[in-house]
């Protein structure tokens, strides 16, 4: 499809071509989609004499791939561009957990829509930095806040889980995914988990003064080991650090072992644990959160370590190798 006459896309005016849709100009979005389909020669027709702005040209240059793009003046059937919301609803991930799919993703996609509407030039790294600042605030709030600190920490932890989806959605909607961005995003995710478990452990240990501190310490060890496994697996397949690397590839459920793994994988997802913690704190069972985190996390670590060391332990199905932001 790359040879012959150029494929023409028409806009009634330069303003229409420059209209920003989810952080990308309409002309550049059309060029990207054509380029991805194998078109190597594209002509953009503009129906008026207004100049094409540098922002539009920069967008097209970034997204044109191997396609050659030229501009011409003339009229033709105007291109029907997608709406920003149509773009954003396609940014979900098939690997989303139950809480992500039914709660976090609908919220994060609406936040992404608003964010790109208000700040069309925003980058995914900006949201990652906001999440990092939110994570750093967990320790002082949860350790100094007593009862209200547990509630505030839970809300912040869940907010971080939702925001983790926003940076990935912005990256996919604007085609700004990168290995560095995915790595930074996962590092912030790992740090957020560590800081939350640390804050929860310190708060409960100071309040109750019993064995709960040791249980929390074990939960921290699990978090550190999990992060190390992610980093090791990423290095072994030469891919960015990503939680997705510790997920098994899609397969049909065959045995009770498969069902057990799916349950453990769901419960150890941050989206599920963050939501579960909010429920537990509201009914006065915040200690149970550490028991669940430690117990399920122990099973998960053993399974993952076994599959990484002995692939047949996972019925021959290797762990997923795809990596992406939330």
Q: Phi-psi category of 238—alpha, beta or left, where left has phi over 0 and alpha has psi -120 to 50?
A: left
Enumerate the β-bridge partners of residue 72. Answer: 45
114 burial type by CB count under 10 A (0-12 exposed, 13-18 middle, 19+ buried):
exposed
Task: For the chain, list the domains and their CATH numbers.
Answer: 7-73 (no CATH), 86-314 (1.20.120.1760)
Confidence of residue 316 (pLDDT cuts 50, 70, 90): very low
Burial of 19 (C-beta count, 10 Å sphere; 0-12/13-18/19+): middle
- 3-state DSSP helix/strand/coil % of the chain, to nearest 5: 65, 5, 25
Contact status, residue 19 vs residue 8, Cβ threshold 8 Å: no
Are 92 and 60 within 8 A, CB to CB?
no
Convert the pLDDT of each residue in 11-31 to its tens digit: 999 999 999 999 999 999 999
pLDDT in tens, 221-243: 988 887 787 777 777 767 766 65
According to DSSP, the residues that pair with 20 across neighbouring strands are 25
Other beta carbons within 10 Å of 238: 7
Average pLDDT for 171-194: 89
Write b or e for each residue in 158-175: b if 16 or more Cβ atoms lie within 10 A of its Cβ, otherwise e. bebbbbbbbbbbbbbbbe
What pLDDT score does 259 carry? 60
**Residue 115, pLDDT score:** 97
pLDDT for the residue numbered 99: 86
246 and 230 Cβ atoms separated by less than 8 Å: yes
- What is the token pair recorded at 131? 């999440």
Backbone dihedral angles phi then psi of residue 25, each to the nearest 5 degrees: -65, 150
Residue pair 42/72 in contact (Cβ under 8 Å)? The answer is no
Name, in order, each residue with C-beta under 8 angstroms of 79's C-beta and a sequence gap of 6 or more. 9, 10, 11, 26, 30
Would you state the torsion angle of the CA atoms of residues 198, 202, 208, 209, taken in this order, to the nearest 10 degrees? 110
- Give the strands of the sheet with 7-11, arranged side by side: 7-11, 41-46, 68-73
**Which residues does 159 contact at the CB level (< 8 Å), separation at least 6?**
134
Q: What is the pLDDT of residue 245?
A: 53
Q: Euclidean distance between the first and final Cα of the chain, in Å?
A: 34
The pLDDT, as a whole number, for residue 5 is 83
Confidence class of residue 77 from pLDDT cuts 50, 70 and 90? confident
Radius of gyration of the chain (CA): 23
Residue 96 per-residue DSSP state: -
Cα separation, 132 vs 262, in Å, equals 29
Model confidence pLDDT, tens digit, residues 145-164: 778 999 999 999 999 999 99
pTM for the complete prediction?
0.84
Quick one: pLDDT band at residue 94, thresholds 50, 70, 90? Answer: confident
């Amino acid at each position: 499809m790359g040879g012959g006459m150029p494929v023409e896309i028409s806009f009634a005016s330069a303003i229409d071509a420059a209209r920003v849709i989810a952080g990308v100009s309409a002309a550049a979005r059309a060029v990207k989609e054509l380029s991805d389909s194998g078109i190597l020669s594209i002509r953009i027709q503009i129906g008026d004499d207004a100049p094409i702005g540098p922002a539009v040209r920069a967008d097209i240059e970034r997204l044109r791939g191997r396609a050659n793009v030229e501009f011409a003046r003339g009229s033709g059937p105007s291109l029907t561009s997608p709406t920003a919301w149509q773009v954003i609803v396609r940014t979900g991930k098939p690997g989303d957990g139950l809480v992500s799919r039914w709660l976090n993703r609908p919220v994060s996609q609406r936040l992404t829509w608003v964010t790109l509407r208000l700040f069309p030039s925003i980058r995914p790294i900006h949201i990652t930095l906001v999440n990092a600042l939110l994570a750093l605030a967990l320790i002082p709030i949860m350790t100094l806040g007593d009862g209200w600190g547990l509630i505030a920490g839970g809300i912040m932890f869940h907010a971080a889980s939702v925001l983790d989806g926003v940076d990935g959605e912005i990256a996919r909607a604007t085609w700004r995914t990168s290995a560095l961005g995915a790595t930074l995003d996962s590092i912030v995710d790992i740090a957020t988990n560590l800081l939350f478990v640390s804050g929860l452990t310190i708060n409960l240990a100071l309040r109750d003064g019993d064995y709960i501190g040791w249980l929390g310490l074990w939960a921290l060890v699990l978090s550190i080991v999990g992060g190390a496994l992610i980093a090791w697996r990423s290095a072994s397949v030469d891919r960015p650090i990503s939680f997705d690397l510790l997920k098994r590839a899609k397969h049909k459920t065959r045995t009770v072992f498969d069902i057990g793994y799916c349950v453990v994988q769901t419960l150890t997802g941050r989206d599920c644990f963050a939501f579960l913690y909010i429920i537990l704190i509201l009914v006065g069972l915040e200690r149970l959160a550490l028991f669940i985190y430690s117990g399920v996390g122990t099973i998960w670590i053993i399974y993952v370590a076994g599959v990484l060391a002995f692939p047949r332990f996972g019925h021959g199905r290797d762990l997923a190798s795809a990596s992406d932001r939330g």
